[in-house]
Amino acid sequence: MTETFLNPIKTRLAEGKLCLGAWLMSGTPVIAEAMASLGFHWLCVDMEHGSADISQVEAVFAAAERYGAAPMVRIGALDGDLARRLLDLGTQGIIVAAVEDAGRFKDFAAHCLYAPEGRRGVGLSRCNRWGDAFEEYKTNFRPVLVPMIETAAGIEAAAGLAALPMVDALFLGPYDLSSSLGCAGDFTADAFTAAADKVRAACKASGAALGIHQVTLDPAELKGRLDGGFTLVAYGTDLLAMRHALSGVRDLAGTI
């Protein structure tokens, strides 16, 4: 079968369709495979707060792809060199933590795009089947690029970020953002809802998708996010899901 290398998540976001993702804090392929098998559209390896390193992500990507989940990563800074390596290993998208400046993000994005759009280095690697599909990949593939809005400064930069042509979505990091606004963990506070509305308006004006990490494993809260216009949504994490499933053991052990 001939591969087109068109990015499925980029296509879904452009069409306004829901992209529901899983969030991987560990670097374990078997956990990645188990999560991907549940039907998520994408699986994000957290390289800011998680335990995975560059040597583990290739196996995680392969595990996700086996079940049709697009592999993505969250990185902790605008690190163009790291982004290039992750793209060569096969990531379909990069989410960058705490972005506060559209100009700096545009410069970062150039590392993710081949010339003439950017300055990504050319290599024969996993992303292009070690050169067997080089031209198809180079011609057709474009990564999903997503700045996270996690600070008051990021809110002020939201309109400029959303207007960048290579930006597919803005992604709210609710805990960091609420902390930056002085209402840590309170997503009903006026400051937080006003900030979210400002990001929502920036996305609507530019056509970018609106994203968020729904950290708590609460289906009703997840539905609220979807009803609120979020289309790039990460739900829970692997480790939180495990702890949630086993949360009664402490009380049970105390009764035996």
- For position 142, what pLDDT does the model report? 97
Using pLDDT thresholds of 50, 70 and 90, give the confidence band for residue 1. very low
- 250 pLDDT more than 90: no
Centre a 10 Å sphere on the Cβ of residue 175 and count the other Cβ atoms it contains.
14
Helix axes 152-162, 102-110, angle to 10 degrees: 60
Inter-residue contact 220 to 234 (CB < 8 Å): no
pLDDT digits (tens, 9 = 90+) for 209-244: 999 999 999 999 999 999 999 999 999 999 999 999
Residue type, 158: A
CA–CA gap between residue 88 and residue 220 (Å, rounded): 38
Q: Yes or no: is domain 8-255 CATH 3.40.50.720?
A: no
Q: What pTM, to 2 d.p., does this model score?
A: 0.95
User: Look-up: residue for tokens 């290599």?
Assistant: 123
HSE value, Cβ hemisphere, 13 Å, CA-based, for 240: 15
Q: Where are the domains of the chain?
A: 8-255
The tens digit of pLDDT for each residue in 163-199 reads 999 999 999 999 999 999 999 999 999 999 999 999 9
Q: Which amino acids are annotated catalytic?
A: 49
User: What is the DSSP code string of 203-217?
Assistant: HHHHT-EEEEEE-S-
